[in-house]
Amino acid sequence: MDRYSAVRRLYGNRDMAESTKYDLSTHLCGVRLDNPIIPASGTFGFGGEYDDFYDINILGSVSLKGTTLHARFGNPTPRIAECRSGMLNAVGLQNPGIDAVIAEELPRLRSRFRKPIMANISGFSVEEYTECCRRMDSQEQVAFIELNISCPNVHNGGMAFGTSPEAAAEVTRAARRVTTKPLIVKLSPNVTDIVSIARACEDEGADGLTLINTLLGMRIDIRRRRPVLANTTGGFSGAAVFPVALRMVYQVAGACRIPVVGCGGVESAEDVVEMMMAGASAVEVGSANLHNPYACRDIIENLPKVMERLGIERLEGIIGAAHRG
């Protein structure tokens, strides 16, 4: 019995999508999703916050807000800054801690959302990652664990785990030992060679890869002559990063055998198709949710129209099409 069997029993045999001419379904690490659209971690809270806008059960999955071992208040304000075609954030992983997420947030979301859930795990040491993964592994409604390795390693001078193949391999290996869930490692784009890091994670047992996380950036208030963000720098996201994200998805999907979740600047159904043609099996929508709470809904509703225009009947069939020429 492989490590996907438990999640298949929960989600693999459900016909949760309405029958239409156009098949939007996809598979991620052995789990069937009604469609590839997943709100990215940090842009959708713990899911229930958006249920007031539309029925979130139209989504393929939800990636929960980044969760750490202990509660975090996050960075001081201001920690959000607008940019042309994007935004900067230095929120600092504000969250109530894994015990509160398991005891309160997961049951609350499960009462509203009947589909696979993706838990996003962050940490500042290998031990923190390991303990969070161990605790989340026992949660039945969690179908995937998304390991955010963009956090600084406090035992290694503050360098992010995801900036070297060796550090990425170490934390992936440790997480793999304690979880039976499909393990999807979320990669940092702030590197010279993302393919070597992706391969290191694959070699240590990652079942999938999410890319990209935010790019490092900053803004300066020219009147006050100081950085806009209290943290000085922050993560840059939004439409402006889409070409960078697409290039990295294409590179990694061509170099690795495990599925890729595309993320970064996705704002439209056309962007989703482009990401999947680059090699993504599913697509996360991030900053778009913050300026348009209906972004994911609109993309899902528009996908069949784009498929009709492009002569696509089965969305899963276009995965990696750009590699086949």
- The domain that holds 128 is classified in CATH as 3.20.20.70
User: 214 lies in a domain?
Assistant: yes
16: β partners: none
Range of the domain at 208: 5-77+93-220+235-324
201-246 pLDDT per residue, tens: 999 999 999 999 999 999 999 999 999 999 999 999 999 999 999 9
* Number of folded domains that form the chain: 1
What is the reported pLDDT for 297?
97
What is the reported pLDDT for 275?
98
Q: What is the DSSP letter of 324?
A: H
User: 154 lies in a domain?
Assistant: yes
CA dihedral 40, 194, 145, 174 (to 10 degrees): -150
What is the reported pLDDT for 154?
60
Mean pLDDT to the nearest integer, 40-55: 93
What is the reported pLDDT for 317?
97
Cα–Cα nearest to 4, from 25, 38, 27, 37: 27
Distance in angstroms (rounded) separating the CA atoms of residues 265 and 137 = 30
119-138 pLDDT per residue, tens: 999 999 999 999 999 999 99
Mean pLDDT to the nearest integer, 7-21: 46
User: 40 lies in a domain?
Assistant: yes
User: 87 lies in a domain?
Assistant: no
Distance in angstroms (rounded) separating the CA atoms of residues 52 and 154 = 39
What is the reported pLDDT for 241?
97
User: 83 lies in a domain?
Assistant: no
285-318 pLDDT per residue, tens: 999 999 999 999 999 999 999 999 999 999 999 9
User: 82 lies in a domain?
Assistant: no
Q: Is 188 helix (H, G, I), strand (E, B) or coil?
A: coil
The full DSSP string for 259-280 is -EEEESS--SHHHHHHHHHHTE
67-94 pLDDT per residue, tens: 999 999 999 999 999 999 999 999 999 9
What is the reported pLDDT for 21?
86
Q: Is residue 289 a contact partner of residue 266, using CB atoms and an 8 Å limit?
A: no
Residues annotated as part of the active site: 151
User: 32 lies in a domain?
Assistant: yes
* pLDDT level of residue 156 (50, 70, 90 thresholds): low
Report percent pLDDT > 90 for the chain. 88
Mean pLDDT to the nearest integer, 177-197: 97
Q: Is residue 242 a contact partner of residue 188, using CB atoms and an 8 Å limit?
A: no
Q: Which residue has the higher pLDDT, 4 or 126?
A: 126
Q: What is the model's pTM?
A: 0.92
Q: What is the mean pLDDT of the chain?
A: 92
What is the reported pLDDT for 20?
63
16-20, 115-119, 197-201: which range is least confident on average? 16-20
Distance in angstroms (rounded) separating the CA atoms of residues 145 and 137 = 8
User: 85 lies in a domain?
Assistant: no
* pLDDT level of residue 144 (50, 70, 90 thresholds): very high
